[in-house]
Chain A
Amino acid sequence: MGSSKKQTAVPVRTKVPSPEEVEKRNTVHINAETVTNVTSTDFPGFYPGEDHSWDIEKFRESVRVVFHQNDPYEAQFSLIGVDASIANAFRRIMIADIPTLAIEDIFMWNNTSVIQDEVLGHRLGLIPFTGGKEGLHNFLKWYKKGETPCDYNTVELELKVKCENNESAPADSKDPKELYHNAHVYAKDIKFVPKGRQAKYFSGENAIRPTNPDILVAKMRPGQEIDLTMHMHKGVGSDHAKFSPVATASYRLMPTITILEPILGRDAEKFQKCFPEGVIGLEKVTKEEAKKKGSGYEGHEGELKAVVLDAMRDTVSRECLRHDEFKDKVKLGRRRDHFIYLVESTGQWESDAIFLESIAHLKEKAKRFEKQVVNMVQ
């Protein structure tokens, strides 16, 4: 084939797809029982006979990031204009590859509570901690198994609580929290023990502390005691879920709702109820619309019609496809290249920083891969 091309030597004519075609390609169809058009082509974004050669300028133009919410522990943003594989890579990296600090080794000096050593250890390990970002991300390094714990790779914590009778408890009290001191052991009872240079990075409000101080660790009764030292190390989520920087990191595709034929009156109200609040609005049919022939609004002036207000709020429950009234009147879909991310941080990273870090990670990985590819070609 290559040879025939050479012979004809006609300049390659590039097809330019129509806007409808682009729209169609860019939509995942949401049907009543199936999802169709889910897979992109073997070479995502490429179509035969068309010019889709990668161009950094074009890429720069098409890719957008829009933040909808950006709190320290929760962020929602849209990443628009990339393929699912890239978007998914970010998601996967956020869950499994970004390092955080978590309790890894426990030195159990004394544990006379009812909760067994391993279970207590497991519970402690799962407590998310936060602290000075500079120290966490730049100062602390990896800890290799068998290495001597040092200030730059290990954070020491301490939990030393003893349950005792509360002499000043009200006489008629039945609440163990009133009757005894330390009846409940919380995450906030864990004390950070700075070592060496850690004092510089983790002092004051930068101290290493549990993200959620009220996590219940154990319950005790008078005479019981927990005394232990903990070592925190850096790790990644693929090793153990406790190292994952996110409670969840996921995305969904931007929903689209296309009203093909007018939905009016009672139907419009019912249609609105098929969606979460704020997705569908009701507007009065205007004079102009009513005049327009073939629009379906003839003679319905002043009646309510359903209009799409904010498709992003849709949860894609497909409820509207269940009712015969709306048959062929509405088309549901999702934009293939519009990813709405939801990232919930567990505290060691700002939610948005996790995403940025994931990009950096992907870059690292690509570089490593590039080396391999180059090696392979040679």
Chain B
Amino acid sequence: MAALDDGFEALLEPFYNGKKLTDPISTTQDKFHLVPAFLKVKGLVKQHIDSYNYFVNEEIKDIVRANRVVRSDQDPNFWLEFRDIRVGMPTRTEDGEQVQSRNPVTPMECRLRDLTYAAPVEVDIAYTRDKNVIVRKNIPLCRIPVMLKSAKCYLNGATNAQMEVFNECPLDPGGYFVIGGTEKVILIQEQLSKNRIIVEADEKTGGVMASVTSSTHERKSKTYVVLKKDRIVLQHNTLSEPIPIVIVLKAFGGLSDNDIIELVCGGDARYQDDFLINFDEAGRAGVYTQQQALEYVGARVKMGGNRPKFGAAPRRNHAEEGLDALANLVIAHVTVEGLDFYPKAVYIAMMVRRVLMAAQNPKLVDDRDFVGNKRLELAGQLISLLFEDLFKKFISDVKYNIDNFFKKPNRTSTYDPHGAIMANGHYISHGLNRAIQSGNWTVKRFNMNRAGITHVLSRLSYIAALGMMTRISSQFEKTRKVSGPRALQPSQWGMLCTSDTPEGEACGLVKNLALMTHITTNVPEEPVKKMIFAADESVGPIREYTGTEMHSKGSYIIHLNGTPFAVTREPKRFAARFRTLRRRGWVSPFVSIHINEHFSAVHIATDEGRICRPYIIVKNGKSMLKAEHLKMLQLGQATFDTFLTSGVVEYLDVNEENDTLVALQEDQITNSTTHMEIEPFTILGAVAGLIPFPHHNQSPRNTYQCAMGKQAIGAIAYNQFNRIDTLLYTLVYPQRPMVITKTIQLIHYDKLPAGQNATVVVMSYSGYDIEDALVLNKASLDRGFGRCQVFRKYTAELQGYTNGRRDRVGGIMKDEDDKPIVKHAILDADGLAQVGSKVESGQTMIKKETPLDQISTGIAGDRGSDDYRDASTNYRISDPAIIDKVMISVNERENKLIKVQTRQTRRPELGDKFSSRHGQKGVVGIIVNEEDMPFSDKGLRPDIIMNPHGFPSRMTVGKLFECLTGKASVIAGEKDYGFGDAFRSHPVESMGQALIDHGFSWEGKDYFTSGITGEPMEAYIYNGPIFYQRLKHMVQDKMHSRSRGPRAILTRQPTEGRSRDGGLRLGEMERDCLIAYGASQLLLERLMISSDGTELDVCQECGLFGYKGYCNACKSTRNVTQMTMPYACKLLVQELISMNVGVKLKLEDEFPHPR
């Protein structure tokens, strides 16, 4: 078998029991093979990449098509049309100009040179010139940042060998951007679904409200249908007051009162009774006809807002106003063609019906937290929002330019839009760059202003980077104390990781995708519409039905993306047939269909951002996945997509999931089963997948590990030593965990691990192990356990100034003996630090100098100083480091760019933090000599001694299992033993047997001898290998003390924080203690003498500050006396005085001098 090069060797690896390719395949045991097959097709961050690809390939064209033509207000004969738009492959630029180069720009080059990995966008235009149509192609418009591994990236589809050539890590997931040298991720944004009706009950007033957020390319608006005091009204933010619903329905026209009540209530008398009162409302308002209704609505449309900016819009009457509002603003996503308001009327009637139903039966309200009611916004959607906004701005700029040109009465040339496009295009580039760089998403037309959309990709560890790619952030306010959105929703099963969420304020709001989750992209509606009619003969367009027919028992309305579209009386048959079409590949696999019995509705969804995942199809109690499918998979004759179109697997979104009965295992299949899980461990995400035996742990422990796995030091990428990161932690000897999971193999954590297999004994030792402290073996540290390296980056840019002067490097200062001074001891002749030299605190690494004169023009004797000012980059950390790399390059502005990387190698010391994979963190409490360590019969001495008190309250049984499984696999030499997957781990009994077979105790507890006394321990001691992670929190980075030091300028109090060599604050509560205790002298010392005490002159006469024993107000020295007070107090007094608040100090002797 040829060695595969795609990193998916795990696909062909046996799972348990050393099964080979030739061995018989059982679908029960080996159906997990679909997981790697899925990941091979979809990848861990495929959601991002798919979404971006959809944007650059399709949506960008749609956006341009929608804003295709620019016309001039001045010259009606002129038009400019954008006929096509294309995104190219990434290129280099110099000073904003595209440059031709022989080799393509790589992401690595961008990272190192602080460039932006962006591709040029070109447009084809056509415009008129004197009644001729001129067509010009490939006009550069702008540059857009390219997502790594997307269709527009050179890394797309690259093999491992090609990735190496690009200096890229083959295991890097991609899905992020490189902007100005930093890696930026656009987090997945969670939102309530658009264009769907959500019915909610207001518990206080007992009112019911149906709302829908309409989202179209032009605008977003929210429409409410509210039941309040038995009356139903429609609210919209462009309407100044709620409008009785019957008036709205009448305004649509063509509906009699009977039509209205039929549309809303059907034949149901209960709803009719409830609804009838609303007709009175219309009558009371004097609205009987469409014209009256339109006038009523029009009178209540808010002025302003959607007026065109230039030129006075023709004044419209109320009826026109109302018509416009109803057509374009209310429920904007239901489009009105011609003046056909019928679909809109049906939609609003449906909302009213939902309100009435919910009022009758409170169970029929919707759950906002239901995952099926959520949509996830990905990079592509967010960029497309931004791009559309920027493109519209660009269009208006171009139009302005055109108008300006044609305004001139006597032109000398014909108009060429090329210049305007070139000139305004870079606003798009800048807008995109700035948004991704800052994370501030400002979309003017939606009044959207969101911050924190993008984050710098955390490269602390491989897992941290991966975890960031699957993270979902919610728009919910973090401060609100509501449990609903934070709680674990049952519908999250298999879609969102149950364990991976942060603790604290963002708990439950920030979520992570599970391993097999896919997020849909938009599927065009039109073909689906055709398929709906083709699927079943019982389906008829909604227009052909009256309200009573629609709502009669047994009639089901088919909704397409929430909008009523057709009616059927055979919903089950229709759904089954539609599914068959999907399983055969006639309809996109990401179109979902489900039946809602409560509302007699069939819902078909094609929109983007739905969360879905694949299942194995079960038909007539038989799994459609057969052994031959897996065989084909193993032989490479089939991919996951083959199974999608051959009816073996299909994607279900959360809503459709509710229509199914899913069996976990093949033996649980009954006749009513419709689907089977591919693999239960996929309910966890990538980060939680690292935990062995997670199903044996108390659930918060798994959550803690998810947070800590991201802080673990290890290997971050294969190219880690080629990168120059601001801060990089690496472990010197990372190890593959002894006990792994299938997820670990799938995400390649076994290739980029972050931790080491420590031999742990669980016992009490020395008392330095209380409160989770660890005892470490000194010899293990000598031999390299936990040794890590810390790399830091220092950058300098040599800028050029307008007067032609430039920053420079060099100018090492020498002492009398012509040796460099200590500060410059490690500098080379070029003014840069020597690679390999040791740099101590205060020493210079980059001897940069800037010219004193940066503004003089040099014209006519305007010549400034020729001197240079030192602007060197110095090493400021107290512990020395070694210069690891020095890079000299040129950035996009054509300035010289210097990067220096320093390296520290650290061995674990007292207080460094370690953690196992079960949320059990601890600091090093003592480091013990090897001879003092307990030893077993075999002479084994532990690396770590862990206190047994860590177990009872934490209930991390998984850790015990990891230890036992690890021990058995080490002793038996069986790599395959060490699997601890969720819900299908290796049985612990067989581990015990393996131990017995090799002469150990079955329960993993062995006889140990104390290394100190030499006598046996009175208990048998649990021992074995446990994977320990070294966390990034190290004493060396936190240790801090100060006696004297710098003070803040303003208050003269000691500075704050370690980085500023600050003091340790004696805070309010400590102050309270001292007061209560009566330690007044200590108080005085801490708060005054050691802080900001100042000697001041105060005039006893006027109560103001004097100066040098003289009061300037009283013009005398008579009553001026000296006193000590905090400088901050003096500052307060003076600031108050400056604000015209009089402050006078009245002095009094507490112990008057006896006269």
Contact = CB atoms under 8 A, between A and B. Distances in A.
B996 A317 contact: yes
B930 A241 contact: yes
Contacts of B903: 116
B213 to A, nearest CB: 55
Interface residues of A, number: 49
Nearest to A321: B1001
A318 B1013 contact: no
B1154 interface: no
Contact of A122 (B784, B836, B1014, B1016): B784
B610 interface: no
Given A122-B784, A322-B1002, A238 B1015 contact: no
B1017 A35 contact: yes
Contacts of B1013: 84-85, 88
Nearest to B784: A122
A33 B1020 contact: yes
Contact of A35 (B882, B929, B1007): B1007
Interface stretch (B81-89, B518-526, B564-572, B931-939): B931-939
Nearest to B3: A174
A283 to B, nearest CB: 23
B1007 A316 contact: yes
Interface string A109-125: 00100101111001000
Given A30-B1007, A35-B1020, A244-B779, A250 B930 contact: no
Contact of B930 (A96, A108, A252, A344): A96
Contacts of B784: 122, 126
Contacts of A212: none
A173 to B, nearest CB: 15
Given A95-B930, A117-B882, A241-B782, A38 B1018 contact: yes
A341 to B, nearest CB: 10
Interface string B728-739: 000010000000
Interface in A205-240: 237-238, 240
Q: Is the interface of B mostly helix, strand, loop or mixed?
A: loop
A334 B836 CA distance: 57
Given A38-B1015, A96-B929, A122 B787 contact: yes
B1011 A334 contact: no
Contact of A317 (B1000, B1014, B1015): B1000
B931 A252 contact: no
Contact of B939 (A114, A119, A342): A342
A318 B1001 contact: yes
A316 B732 CA distance: 37
B384 interface: no
B1017 A114 contact: no
A33 B1002 CA distance: 12
Given A88-B1013, A118-B905, A34 B1002 contact: no
Nearest to A249: B939
A116 B1001 CA distance: 43
Interface in A40-61: 40
A75 interface: no
Contacts of B1014: 84-85, 87-89, 91
A195 B799 CA distance: 55
A367 B395 CA distance: 97
B935 A250 contact: yes
Contacts of B780: 241
Contact of B836 (A92, A117, A237, A252): A117
A240 to B, nearest CB: 5
B884 A116 contact: yes
Interface in B864-909: 882, 884, 903, 905
A317 B999 contact: yes
B1019 A35 contact: yes
Nearest to A276: B999
Contacts of A342: 938-939
B1053 interface: no
Given A88-B1013, A116-B789, A116-B905, A238 B1018 contact: no
A318 B780 CA distance: 30
A87 to B, nearest CB: 6
Given A117-B836, A316-B1007, A34 B1018 contact: yes
A126 B905 contact: no
Contacts of B1007: 30, 35, 252, 316
Interface string B751-794: 00000000000000000000000000011101110010100000
Given A116-B789, A276-B999, A318-B1001, A35 B930 contact: no
Kindly name the residue among B903, B936, B1007 whose own CB sees the greatest number of chain A CB atoms within 10 A: B1007
B1029 interface: no
A87 B1010 CA distance: 12
B1002 A319 contact: yes
Contacts of A111: 836
B1001 A319 contact: yes
Nearest to A279: B999
Given A38-B1015, A39-B1015, A117-B882, A244 B939 contact: no
Interface string B904-941: 01000000000000000000000001110001111101
A36 B1012 CA distance: 18
Nearest to A96: B931
B106 interface: no
Contacts of B446: none
A238 B929 contact: yes
Kindly name the residue among B903, B930, B995, B1011 whose own CB sees the greatest number of chain A CB atoms within 10 A: B930
A96 B743 CA distance: 43
A153 B1009 CA distance: 37
A307 B39 CA distance: 59
A305 interface: no
B1015 A40 contact: yes
B721 interface: yes
A118 B902 CA distance: 13
A222 to B, nearest CB: 16
Interface string A305-318: 00000000001111
Contact of A242 (B721, B782, B882, B935): B782
B1016 A241 contact: no
B1102 to A, nearest CB: 68
Contacts of A119: 732, 787, 789, 905
A218 to B, nearest CB: 13
A29 B1011 CA distance: 19
Contacts of B782: 126, 240-242
Contacts of B929: 96, 238
Contacts of B939: 248-250, 342, 344
A28 B937 CA distance: 14
Interface in B980-999: 995-996, 999
Kindly name the residue among A114, A122, A242, A334 whose own CB sees the greatest number of chain B CB atoms within 10 A: A122
Nearest to B781: A241
Given A95-B931, A250-B937, 14 more contacts: A38-B1015, A38-B1018, A87-B1014, A88-B1015, A91-B1014, A116-B789, A119-B905, A241-B779, A248-B939, A250-B1009, A252-B1009, A315-B999, A316-B1007, A317-B999
Interface of A: 28, 30, 33-36, 38-40, 84-85, 87-89, 91-92, 95-96, 108, 111, 114, 116-119, 122, 126, 237-238, 240-242, 244, 248-253, 276, 315-319, 322, 334, 342, 344
24 contacts: A35-B1017, A38-B1018, A39-B1015, A84-B1014, A88-B1011, A88-B1012, A88-B1015, A91-B931, A116-B905, A122-B787, A126-B784, A237-B779, A241-B780, A248-B941, A249-B939, A250-B936, A250-B939, A315-B937, A315-B999, A315-B1000, A317-B1001, A318-B1001, A319-B1001, A342-B938
Interface of B: 721, 732, 778-780, 782-784, 787, 789, 836, 882, 884, 903, 905, 929-931, 935-939, 941, 995-996, 999-1002, 1007, 1009, 1011-1020
Closest 8 CB pairs of A and B: A88-B1014, A250-B939, A315-B999, A241-B782, A241-B779, A84-B1014, A248-B939, A92-B931
